[in-house]
Amino acid sequence: MELTDQRNLVHQTRDARRSKSFPKLSPAERDSLIKKHHPDHRAHAYRPIIFGPNAGQSTVTEVATLLEGESPVPADLDLTPAYSVDVLVVGGGGAGCASALHAHAQGANVLLATKLRLGDSNSVMAQGGMQIAVASDDSPVQHFLDTLKGGHMKNDHQLLKVMVEEGPSIAKWLLELGVLFDRDADGNLHVKKGGGSSKARLLTCSDYTGLEIMRVLKDEVLNKKIPLLEFVAAVELLSDAKGACTGAVLKDLDNNRFIVVAAKTVILATGGIGRLHIQGFPTSNHFGATGDALVLAYRLGVPLVQIDTFQYHPSGGVYPEQLVGALVTEGIRSEGGHLVNAKGERFVNELDTRDVVSSSIIRECEEGRGVRTPSGRVGVWLDTPLLDVEHGPGTLDKHFPAMVRQYERYQVDIRKDPVLIYPTLHYQNGGVKIDVNGETPVANLFVAGEASGGLHGRNRLMGNSLLDLMVFGKRTGTLAAERSKSLPKSSLTLDHLKRFRAEAKRHHVSAGIISPMVLPAYTNK
């Protein structure tokens, strides 16, 4: 059957589908679906980590190999610092910008290093919105409960309580910086419903929420004249005799030189892992999402938590070919868009959590109810025209301008035709272990945002990432700045690396892989 005929089936079944609702699954049904079809449960993709703080625990091969990798820094590197600062922030996305701004506000001497340009990140792509319990019929407690249920009850309660309670003050901070959230007629913040949430709680800036927040934060970092190193990646941390973190070795990607930074405190805000293409999945992530913080912290002896679980976003593009892996915003499902298989049927409640929806799409495709694209991929339909039918013509133009544009570039009109989607590697659910201030078990090393773990349990709810970045960006930046005031200058050594290398040798690990990866190797050689 041609793709056009398949597409017509979606048009033909629309009215019949509209009249019926699709029930959410019970917790038991969800668990069984996930165990059977979610990529986190494919045993052959996993192996135990051989040595280090998480020795014996299982994670995907791609991550295990990087954790056991070799540092690019020679043991005899001259550690004379080029910079001496109170706070070194690594990463220029949402968490990095927020922590740098808050540390600066405390009077600290801050340096921000990022391996791409300031702002090049996943944060800039966040379309769905930011969950904050601001509505009168909502509460931080309900936000906590929804997130916990979405995370399969595995979220760290303390981290989560901090995030939901500080949400409203974060909204206030962003408004004061000039972020233009969508409003209701009475001037209050407009809230939208998101997958897995019992209340409408998403603050949005049409479907450009992340872009709007990042434009503002980047501008503010520049206004505050916070020193910046762009195209400079962190490749190793530095420690003192007691094992505390005292700085980092950076690498300038333009001239391949090492830059040594003495820092009283270090905040890693390097984001997630999409560009590792775990299990061969395409990804929605930006070019630099290579899990650098996991490697850097691990070599300094920091354990990782829930590093065996990843989020495969239900709606990655599969057609046209140029959009493979690219994110199709969840907002479409939030506003009532149906998922439809090759038989023209719905197969899941579209507002269930991401892991449930993704598992159900994979099930449909594995059991032969997927739709094939001309290049041999497979996916299911997302019925976009339904939104204009349901809420009136112009709804897609008004609420999803970015998505209309995204497909228009390839001559696909989402107002007229549905689009094909399949899960795409989207988010690292776990990460570096932190406490409520974002500090790791290694003194003076902080981690903020996606690189950290525990907050989201085994599945992050839509809209909780932007909030995570802002809350833990604030907490790490504020505390690191305060802490640095009382810290004396300390020594810069690579002692931890010596120990790590000795352990690798003892376990006969010589993968020949240099880590962190910094950038994926896409270039044909």
Partner 1 sequence: MPDTLNKKNTLDQKESLQPKMVTVEIEGKPFQVPAGITLIKALWYAGQDVIRGVGCLGGFCGACATYYRTKDDPKVKTCLACSMAVEDGMSFSFMPAFPARKATYNLLELKDPKQDLFTLYPEAPLCRNCNACTEACPQHIDVREGVWKAVFGDFKAVSEMFMDCVMCGMCAPVCIADIAPNLVALYASRAQGVHFTEKPEGLATRIQEITDGRFQQEWDRILKLSDEELQNTTAATT
User: Active-site residue numbers?
Assistant: 313, 333
Q: Please pick, from the candidates 4, 19, 80, 136, the single residue that binds partner 1 as defined by CB under 8 A.
A: 136
Q: Is 137 in the site for partner 1 (CB under 8 A)?
A: yes
Which CB atom, from 249 or from 326, has the smaller least distance to partner 1? 326
Q: Which region among 78-86, 115-123, 348-356, 469-477 touches partner 1 (by CB under 8 A)?
A: 115-123
What residues does 514 pair with on adjacent strands?
70
Residue 31 neighbours by CB under 8 Å, 6+ apart: none
Q: Please pick, from the candidates 4, 21, 78, 522, the single residue that binds partner 1 as defined by CB under 8 A.
A: 522
Which CB atom, from 24 or from 501, has the smaller least distance to partner 1? 24
| Residue carrying the six token digits 């989207």 | 426
Q: Is 514 in the site for partner 1 (CB under 8 A)?
A: no
Give least dist CB 394 to partner 1, A: 15
Give least dist CB 369 to partner 1, A: 7
Interaction residues for partner 1, span 326-385 (CB under 8 A): 326-327, 342, 362, 365-372, 375-378
What's the token pair of residue 90? 């690594």
Give least dist CB 42 to partner 1, A: 8
Interaction residues for partner 1, span 246-275 (CB under 8 A): 253-254
Give least dist CB 457 to partner 1, A: 11
Q: Please pick, from the candidates 175, 241, 502, 513, the single residue that binds partner 1 as defined by CB under 8 A.
A: 175
Strand runs labelled E in 43-181:
46-48, 58-60, 83-90, 110-114, 130-131
Q: Is 76 in the site for partner 1 (CB under 8 A)?
A: no
CA dist 506 and 464 (Å) reads: 41
Which CB atom, from 290 or from 440, has the smaller least distance to partner 1? 290
What's the token pair of residue 424? 């795409």
Q: Which region among 238-246, 303-311, 483-491, 516-524 touches partner 1 (by CB under 8 A)?
A: 516-524
Give least dist CB 284 to partner 1, A: 7
Alpha carbon 497 to chain centroid, angstroms: 28
Give least dist CB 360 to partner 1, A: 14
Residue type, 43: A
What's the token pair of residue 506? 């003892």
The CA-atom distances, in angstroms, between 163 and each of 106, 133, 397 are 21, 11, 33
Give least dist CB 34 to partner 1, A: 14
Give least dist CB 183 to partner 1, A: 7
Interaction residues for partner 1, span 430-459 (CB under 8 A): none
Whether 167 contacts 467, CB under 8 Å: yes
DSSP string, 301-328: T--EESTT-EEEEEEEE-SSGGGBT-B-
Interaction residues for partner 1, span 185-224 (CB under 8 A): 186-189, 198, 205-206, 208, 210-212, 215-216, 218-219, 222-223
In 3D space, the residue among 53, 52, 54 whose CA is nearest the CA of residue 308 turns out to be: 54
User: From residue 275 to residue 294, what is the string marking binding to partner 1 with x (rule CB under 8 A)?
Assistant: ----xxxx-xxxx-------
Q: Which region among 46-54, 63-71, 318-326, 503-511 touches partner 1 (by CB under 8 A)?
A: 318-326
Strands 338-340 and 310-317: unpaired
In 3D space, the residue among 394, 405, 418 whose CA is nearest the CA of residue 333 turns out to be: 418
Q: Is 31 in the site for partner 1 (CB under 8 A)?
A: no
Which CB atom, from 78 or from 254, has the smaller least distance to partner 1? 254
Give least dist CB 173 to partner 1, A: 11
CA dist 16 and 232 (Å) reads: 55
Q: Please pick, from the candidates 55, 153, 241, 513, the single residue that binds partner 1 as defined by CB under 8 A.
A: 153
Q: Is 44 in the site for partner 1 (CB under 8 A)?
A: no
Q: Is 138 in the site for partner 1 (CB under 8 A)?
A: yes
Q: Is 227 in the site for partner 1 (CB under 8 A)?
A: no
CA dist 240 and 262 (Å) reads: 11
Which CB atom, from 274 or from 430, has the smaller least distance to partner 1? 274
CA dist 220 and 212 (Å) reads: 13
CA dist 509 and 21 (Å) reads: 54
Whether 26 contacts 478, CB under 8 Å: no
Which CB atom, from 108 or from 171, has the smaller least distance to partner 1? 171
Which CB atom, from 79 or from 145, has the smaller least distance to partner 1? 145
Residue type, 483: R
User: From residue 154 to residue 173, what is the string marking binding to partner 1 with x (rule CB under 8 A)?
Assistant: ---x---x---x--xx-xx-
How many of the chain's residues bind partner 1 (CB under 8 A)? 104
What residues does 238 pair with on adjacent strands?
247
CA dist 227 and 248 (Å) reads: 16
| Residue carrying the six token digits 């989402």 | 414
Give least dist CB 19 to partner 1, A: 26
Q: Is 231 in the site for partner 1 (CB under 8 A)?
A: yes
Q: Please pick, from the candidates 77, 105, 135, 514, the single residue that binds partner 1 as defined by CB under 8 A.
A: 135
What's the token pair of residue 319? 């057609």
3-state secondary structure of 261: strand
Burial of residue 223 (number of CB atoms within 10 Å: 0-12, 13-18, 19+): exposed
Burial of residue 345 (number of CB atoms within 10 Å: 0-12, 13-18, 19+): middle
What's the token pair of residue 94? 């949402």
Q: Is 405 in the site for partner 1 (CB under 8 A)?
A: yes
Q: Is 39 in the site for partner 1 (CB under 8 A)?
A: yes
